[in-house]
A and B are shown apart, each in its own frame.
Chain A
Amino acid sequence: MVAMKTTLQRIAVVVLFLVATTPLIAIAQQETPPAPAAPRSTTLPKPVERTLKNGLRVIVIERTVDHGGMPLISAQLLVKNGGEVDPPEMAGLANMTAALLTKGTQTRTAPQIAEAIEALGGSINSGGRWDSSVAGVGVISSKTPQAMEILADVVRNPSFKDEEIERLRQQTLDQLRVAMRSPGQLARFVASRVVFGDTPYGHLLTGTPESISRIKRDDIVRLHTTYYRPDNAILIIGGDIKADDAFKLAERLFGDWNNPATPLPAFKASGAELLSKIKPRVLVIDKPDAGQAAVILTRPALQRTDPDYFRALVTNSVLSGFSGRLNQEIRIKRGLSYGAASIMEVRRDVGPFTATAQTKNETGAEVAGLLMSELARLSSEPVADVELTPRKAVLIGGFGRSLETTGGLVSQVGALALYGLSLSEINNYINNVQGVSASDVQKFAGSRLGSKDASIVIVGDASKFLDKLRQQFPNVEVIRAADLDLNSANLRRAGSTEAGNQAVKP
């Protein structure tokens, strides 16, 4: 429940990585701000790791109370597959499987699991993502062994009772009903299909009403048996715990977890080739009752392990963030939106670049044009150093803040481990960002992030912006919200007709 006036953005604080050059803009006014003092250095956390005999990788990041931490721990058990292994007709299977972990084991019911962890002052969550499924606990550190025992139980011994499957199915259907009514969420669902079509990242992680209704207990058990195994999992524990104690605990709770005899399904990156065959679109989902238009620009980008990763991050930072170009042009200069931002989502295979803003229906076309022209400008002219240096500082500062809570620390380390990257990348992050030059950004934008391969999706009241949008993009397709089919790559319900000019005239 978020009433603006009673909300506080809970943020993590800067662990600081100082940017040595400190640009202060010159101001020709009465008084200038005092210059900064010399920057102070900081130490970064050092993860340590062991691999158990069964192949389970265990990573520990100590931040004990003696060294300024809070008496808290966070732990995650990551399984290295998620929604990308959903069978095409069963979108949402991996997410449902993961969500059911905490809904009953061989020895505990769902209410017993909740009661046990919450009595410890802790919480437990599980869910599916792209490329991974995760179960996690956060707890007061004096209760770590008890909480970890529950975590091990839910991952290893879920019961997948029919009653819980039905309950989750109904809850998921209702959550989808709510999500589909929000222009912003609906636009993101549509954007995935537009970029990825029928390829493994194209469907909804949560599934659609149709696919959710198809999933049976056998499908869930099969996915769990296939992918939830120690040689396909990583355990990360961070916070107020000694590494030796954490390793002992991991051995006791997961040491006798056995791998099945069957080999793990192999992964082969094929995204780049498959996605090149999908044509960009300009697509309007006409939703006459939308209180605002949600505008998205999206296109395929790159894999997490791509050598261009840091060039991609810095390029995105030029566009995104409060003072990034998108927000400068759309919010600060023109007052067209509460906020415009972009994100470079990297995955095991090629992930999407997505830029987004919500605006009043009347200015939907103008915002789409601005998103497109800002993407194009990245490759047509170099970024000046006075602009690039602060945008790198934003990345470095944000990364530092993400490491300041135990939960954030565990997530960052988990993201490196998931893709087989060296954990020391945490310590190289600053150098990697600083090493990206203005010409790297321009080259990357030109060769990997061109605007001609970008798609536009707008969910809103089309009668208010369609004519203007057509002037910029003659190939606009319009689908009425009632005719939208998220199960299919072309997104149009079979038998429905193109909503033309007449259908959307006010």
Chain B
Amino acid sequence: MRRFFIALLGLALLALYTFSAPVASAQTRVPRINFKERTLPNGMRVISAEDHSSPTVSINVWYHVGSKDDPEGRSGFAHLFEHIMFKSTRNMKSEMMDRLTEDVGGQNNAFTADDVTVYWEIIPSNYLETLLWAEADRLAGLNVNNENFLSERDVVKEEFRQSYMAPPYGKLNLLIDQKSFTTHPYRRPGIGNIDELNAASLENVRAFHETYYRPDNATLVVVGDFDQKQLDAWVDKYMARIPKPATPLPRVNVKEPERTKEARYTEYGPNVPLPAVAITYLAPSAASDDAFALTVADAILSGGTSSRLYQSLVYQKQLAQSANSFVDLREDLGLVQLRAILASGKKPDEAEAALLAEIKRLQSEPVSAAELEKAKNHLVADRLREIETNNGKAAAIGNAAVILGDANRVNTDLDRLQKISASDIQRVMRKYFSDTNRVVIYYLPESMRGGK
């Protein structure tokens, strides 16, 4: 993520970016997003949804390139590159994006995930043409000098320290991917590491832009206060003129082998107050049919304080200060994760046993109709909050189009999720949460090294 303001008063609201499919509840009308989709002759996909409730527009540009595409020996590069996209381009000085957004009351940012890099702006709607020009300009070509590159690389190193070195459980977030995948590039954390960031060069920037930043690898999403005809004309004027390269687009096609036996790791951190336990299972792609039942199971495990993990580990047994599950499904495959940070005086194996007991329970007993309904209501409400804003709608559309491969899923997934039954949940729990598909990580205070 390009910018992060220290949360003095919760200024930055961070939310997990995961697959979170919505559901239509019997009582609640979830408004459908009416969008138009077309593909330009140069291959750029354009999706737009008019909404005139406020005089603002949100623009998302989804590039189908992410951390899994980091060049060999350049872990963290896709994310570093995302930062560089705010420096000088053919027609813009460094930070001009901020002049065109922040300076007129708008906002911009970007994030890099495993599979995608997404740039977004929220602007007064009279600036739409200006920003379409600007997004087209940085897609057409960068013009970065070495001084800019080196200072931004230092910023990313500080981001690494702030997000992963300073916080007590930062390193655990890196360990999850490093220990969960053996072969697929998902094993390399997207933030990279200091050595490989230091090795990155301006030449790498040029090559990466040429390889991946091309119209046939981009999806433009526009949501808000615009006129469809006018938007189409501007897109034709600024985006359609960017040529499509003749070279093929490289794609990661590495297959992660199935796990055949449980793997266990114990790691230590210098600044860890209380032990943590993480358990991961390999899971299917975000676009797979099983994603729906896994999402409902996730809500049953850790959606709210009446959820099973909170009630069991935090409330009843008081083994943990937090206990959560995550459906971390990505384009090629994913993880389902369980994590607990222990309460003081408790042992990691107690927390592990309690987490696994909740898995076993979901495998052996069907959930009640009431609990199933509660999980679905929880997901509906989350979905409604997610699409309360133009930018939320644009993000949901982009995710459906690029990660799930079909923009229509922004609307149709609601119905699929609604149909999930208790036996569907039992089936996916048995299929993915097997003993041989498990990786267990204990993350402990340095003072516990040597079995203390």
- Give residues in A with beta carbon < 8 Å to B: 1-19, 22-25, 27, 29-42, 65, 67-68, 70-72, 110-111, 114-115, 118-123, 138-140, 142-143, 167, 170-171, 173-175, 177-178, 180-184, 188, 289-292, 294, 321-323, 331-339, 341, 343, 345, 354, 356-360, 389-390, 393-394, 396-398, 400-401, 404-406
**Complex contact B150–A13 (CB within 8 A):** no
**Complex contact B8–A188 (CB within 8 A):** yes
**Complex contact A8–B166 (CB within 8 A):** no
| Cβ contact of A30, chosen from B13, B90, B95, cutoff 8 A | B90
Could you jot down 21 A-B contacts, CB within 8 Å?
A3-B190, A5-B66, A9-B13, A10-B14, A11-B122, A13-B122, A14-B105, A16-B56, A31-B91, A33-B133, A42-B54, A121-B25, A171-B343, A182-B166, A331-B158, A335-B151, A338-B163, A339-B4, A393-B102, A397-B124, A400-B105
Assuming the A-B contacts A14-B106, A118-B374, are A36 and B8 also in contact, with contact meaning beta carbons closer than 8 angstroms in the complex? Answer: no
B155 to A, closest residue via Cβ: A335
Chain B CB within 10 A, most for which of A13, A17, A67, A122: A13
Bound Cα distance A12, B224 (Å): 13
Tell me how far the C-beta of B20 lies from the nearest C-beta in chain A, rounded to whole angstroms.
Answer: 11
Bound Cα distance A10, B389 (Å): 10
* Residue B65 CB within 8 A of the other chain: no
Chain B contact residues, majority secondary structure = mixed
**Complex contact B374–A174 (CB within 8 A):** no
**Complex contact A115–B99 (CB within 8 A):** no
**Complex contact B271–A289 (CB within 8 A):** yes
Q: Which chain B positions have C-beta within 8 A of A181? A: 168, 271-273
Assuming the A-B contacts A7-B14, A118-B304, A338-B159, are A394 and B168 also in contact, with contact meaning beta carbons closer than 8 angstroms in the complex? Answer: no
Chain A CB within 10 A, most for which of B54, B128, B391: B54
**Complex contact A358–B374 (CB within 8 A):** no
The 4 closest A-B pairs by CB, nearest first: A397-B105, A5-B190, A291-B165, A335-B154
Q: Which chain B positions have C-beta within 8 A of A397? A: 102, 104-107, 124
A167 to B, closest residue via Cβ: B318
Q: Which chain A positions have C-beta within 8 A of B27? A: 140, 142-143
Q: Which chain A positions have C-beta within 8 A of B16? A: 1-2, 6-8
**Complex contact A335–B152 (CB within 8 A):** yes
**Complex contact A13–B54 (CB within 8 A):** yes
Q: Which chain A positions have C-beta within 8 A of B349? A: none
B223 to A, closest residue via Cβ: A13
How big is the B interface, by class? 35 or more
Q: Which chain A positions have C-beta within 8 A of B54? A: 13-16, 42, 400, 404
Known: A341-B11, A345-B8, A394-B102; 11 extra A-B contacts, CB below 8 A, are: A3-B189, A5-B191, A13-B392, A37-B126, A120-B377, A121-B377, A181-B272, A345-B9, A360-B161, A393-B102, A394-B103
| Cβ contact of B159, chosen from A4, A25, A323, cutoff 8 A | A4
| Cβ contact of B155, chosen from A34, A115, A331, A396, cutoff 8 A | A331
**Complex contact A174–B343 (CB within 8 A):** yes
Bound Cα distance A16, B133 (Å): 21
Bound Cα distance A428, B241 (Å): 44
- Mask for B326-353, Cβ within 8 A of A = 1, else 0? 1010000000000101011000000000
Assuming the A-B contacts A7-B111, A291-B161, are A40 and B55 also in contact, with contact meaning beta carbons closer than 8 angstroms in the complex? Answer: yes
Bound Cα distance A362, B173 (Å): 25
**Complex contact B17–A6 (CB within 8 A):** yes
Residues in B131-186 with C-beta less than 8 Å from chain A: 133-134, 137, 150-155, 157-159, 161-168, 170, 173-174, 176-177
Of B213-221, B380-388, B431-439, the one with at least 4 CB within 8 A of chain A: B380-388
**Complex contact A177–B274 (CB within 8 A):** yes
Bound Cα distance A111, B314 (Å): 12
| Cβ contact of A114, chosen from B30, B134, B304, cutoff 8 A | B304
Assuming the A-B contacts A70-B31, A183-B166, A396-B105, are A40 and B273 also in contact, with contact meaning beta carbons closer than 8 angstroms in the complex? Answer: no
**Complex contact B91–A358 (CB within 8 A):** no
| Cβ contact of A14, chosen from B56, B159, B326, B392, cutoff 8 A | B56
| Cβ contact of B15, chosen from A7, A14, A71, A138, cutoff 8 A | A7
* Residue B92 CB within 8 A of the other chain: yes
Chain B CB within 10 A, most for which of A139, A173, A394: A394
* Residue B428 CB within 8 A of the other chain: no
Bound Cα distance A31, B123 (Å): 21
B123 to A, closest residue via Cβ: A14
**Complex contact B343–A3 (CB within 8 A):** no
Assuming the A-B contacts A111-B315, A405-B388, are A337 and B53 also in contact, with contact meaning beta carbons closer than 8 angstroms in the complex? Answer: no
Assuming the A-B contacts A4-B159, A7-B14, A25-B96, are A13 and B306 also in contact, with contact meaning beta carbons closer than 8 angstroms in the complex? Answer: no
Assuming the A-B contacts A142-B28, A339-B3, are A354 and B8 also in contact, with contact meaning beta carbons closer than 8 angstroms in the complex? Answer: yes
Assuming the A-B contacts A14-B107, A110-B315, A140-B27, are A337 and B102 also in contact, with contact meaning beta carbons closer than 8 angstroms in the complex? Answer: no
Q: Which chain A positions have C-beta within 8 A of B5? A: 322, 339, 341
**Complex contact B127–A111 (CB within 8 A):** no
**Complex contact A68–B8 (CB within 8 A):** no
Bound Cα distance A29, B92 (Å): 8
Q: Which chain B positions have C-beta within 8 A of A120? A: 377
Bound Cα distance A86, B220 (Å): 53
Bound Cα distance A240, B25 (Å): 17
* Residue B373 CB within 8 A of the other chain: yes
Tell me how far the C-beta of A364 lies from the nearest C-beta in chain B, rounded to whole angstroms.
Answer: 12
Q: Which chain B positions have C-beta within 8 A of A170? A: 318, 343-344
Assuming the A-B contacts A18-B55, A18-B126, A345-B9, are A13 and B384 also in contact, with contact meaning beta carbons closer than 8 angstroms in the complex? Answer: no
Bound Cα distance A184, B370 (Å): 43
Residues in B266-302 with C-beta less than 8 Å from chain A: 270-274
Assuming the A-B contacts A19-B104, A335-B151, A393-B105, are A322 and B3 also in contact, with contact meaning beta carbons closer than 8 angstroms in the complex? Answer: yes
- Mask for B309-334, Cβ within 8 A of A = 1, else 0? 01100110010010010101000000
